[in-house]
Amino acid sequence: MKKKNLFIAIMTMVGSLLGTITAFADDVPALDTGDTTFIIISTALVFLMTPALAFFYGGMVRQKNVLNTMMTSFVAIALISIQWVLFGYSLSFGPDKFGLIGSLDFVGLSGVTGLSGTIPHQLFAMYQMMFAIITVALISGAFAERMKFGPTIIFMLLWSTFVYDPLAHWVWGVGGWMGAAGLGALDFAGGNVVHISSGVAGLVAALVIGKRKGYGHASMLPHNIPFVLLGAGVLWFGWFGFNAGSALGANDLAVNAFITTNTAAASATLSWVILEWLRHGKPTIIGAATGAVVGLVAITPGAGFVTPLASIIIGLAVSPICYFAISYLKPKLGYDDALDAFGCHGIGGIWGGIATGLFATKAVNSAGADGLFYGNPKQLVIQLISIVATIAFSAIVSFIILKVISIFTKLRVTDEEENVGLDYAAHGENAYRELDNQQGLTI
């Protein structure tokens, strides 16, 4: 009898040990091919957003500047792709240094091996690279039609290194002071990191470089509205990878982000169209496209933290907020944000960050936090602190970068180059045959 009891006790211990080992093994991340496939597709979708931005911005400038405007976005793809592999990813997501920056352990993607959650670490690096690319491209809308191409490239490289990379680490890097391990700010897909930072940088650049010649007097209407609509439509499409992909897996959270992204964009489009209709008696394509973009901007920080119903409210509210900034604030203050990078991305991102502090709920994302309307007013305060910190950091460092560059070279094209257009002056090309004829090019 004693031997039988001993045998039972031993088998119970073995079973318990095996159960512990199995549970531990279940907790160890394993490659998930479904998640990996989803993030590969999301990475490609976010990549597509930068060429889409080129069409969106290109259609809104005058025809003599369309190629320069589009080329700025296209070159950003190549420039930041190299910067990111060499050291940008390491500064953003390398092992933490004082909560402020990543180390250089991942220079050249050295050591970027194994898994990041359930996807390959290298795939995570490439996914994040697409965010870095489009962020610097967004800034160019503010100083379109008047900044020299060489200084533009230098500015994009320095800004990505000294503004984007630290911000990405603050919010998303392990140990970053603004993220989950520190302040606790919620930024699901880039409200602070992408939109507020780029919008504020664009405003600073517009102020430093100055207004376009004839601004406020000469006609500066968009030259190709179908380009604008094409760009906005593809941006909307790519934004599903931007927001849903930020769940980093094919899961319920990604689905929620997918739904809230589309819903906010739709409601913002409608609210902008209605606003224009009431004010001017006619809705415009430019207005509808702009409404879609600001809706996408506003939902970006909260896409994985808010409900679909909240996303409707966020989208409905962002259009009048941005419309006021573009139609009233900009003329009153007199700055020339050519393509409204600050009015759309800066202001829209600020509202999105605040809205996340209002509408976030752990019922959507248990790893997040409840917002004001779910009994946690502290989260709204946290969001406001993170927004102010982002604005201050981007504004100060952007100003310093521009001033340093201006010591060595002029930022702005000459009056003659601005008159003839940057397409011909900077690149020796024109997008349209009539301009070739005017400038005597062989066609």
Q: Find, among 340, 345, 314, 313, the residue nearest to 327 by Cα.
A: 340
What is the sign of the dihedral through the CA atoms of 240, 241, 242 and 243? positive
Q: Find, among 158, 166, 156, the residue nearest to 135 by Cα.
A: 156
What's the full length of the chain, in residues? Answer: 443
State residue 24's pLDDT score.
43
Does residue 442 have a pLDDT over 70?
Answer: no
Residues 134-150: tens digit of each pLDDT: 999 999 999 999 999 99
CA angle (43 as vertex; 264, 107 as ends), nearest 5 = 125
8-state DSSP, 212: P
How many angstroms separate the CA atoms of 177 and 183, rounded? 6
How many angstroms separate the CA atoms of 165 and 106, rounded? 13
Q: What are phi and psi of 336, to 5 degrees?
A: -110, 80
How many angstroms separate the CA atoms of 137 and 69, rounded? 10
Residue where the block lists tokens 């991305």:
345
Token duo for residue 375: 């009994």
Does residue 437 have a pLDDT over 90?
Answer: no
User: Do residues 110 and 178 make contact, with C-beta atoms less than 8 angstroms apart?
Assistant: no
Helix (H, G, I), strand (E, B) or coil at 120: strand
Where does the pLDDT of residue 216 fall: very low under 50, low under 70, confident under 90, or very high at 90 and above?
confident
32-433: CATH topology: Ammonium transporter fold (1.10.3430)
Q: In the beta sheet, which residues pair with residue 120?
A: 115
Does residue 387 have a pLDDT over 60?
Answer: yes
Does residue 309 have a pLDDT over 80?
Answer: yes
Dihedral, 138, 418, 78, 405 alpha carbons, nearest 10 = -80
State residue 433's pLDDT score.
78
CA atoms within 13 A of residue 101's CA, in its CB half-sphere: 12
Count of other CB atoms within 10 angstroms of residue 403: 11
State residue 265's pLDDT score.
98
State residue 434's pLDDT score.
73
State residue 439's pLDDT score.
62
Q: Tell me the whole-structure pTM to 2 decimals.
A: 0.91
Count of other CB atoms within 10 angstroms of residue 122: 15
Residue where the block lists tokens 């600050």:
342
8-state DSSP, 325: I
User: Do residues 303 and 257 make contact, with C-beta atoms less than 8 angstroms apart?
Assistant: yes
Residues 330-360: tens digit of each pLDDT: 999 999 999 999 999 999 999 999 999 999 9
User: Do residues 158 and 408 make contact, with C-beta atoms less than 8 angstroms apart?
Assistant: no
How many angstroms separate the CA atoms of 321 and 216, rounded? 22
Residue where the block lists tokens 């490439």:
126
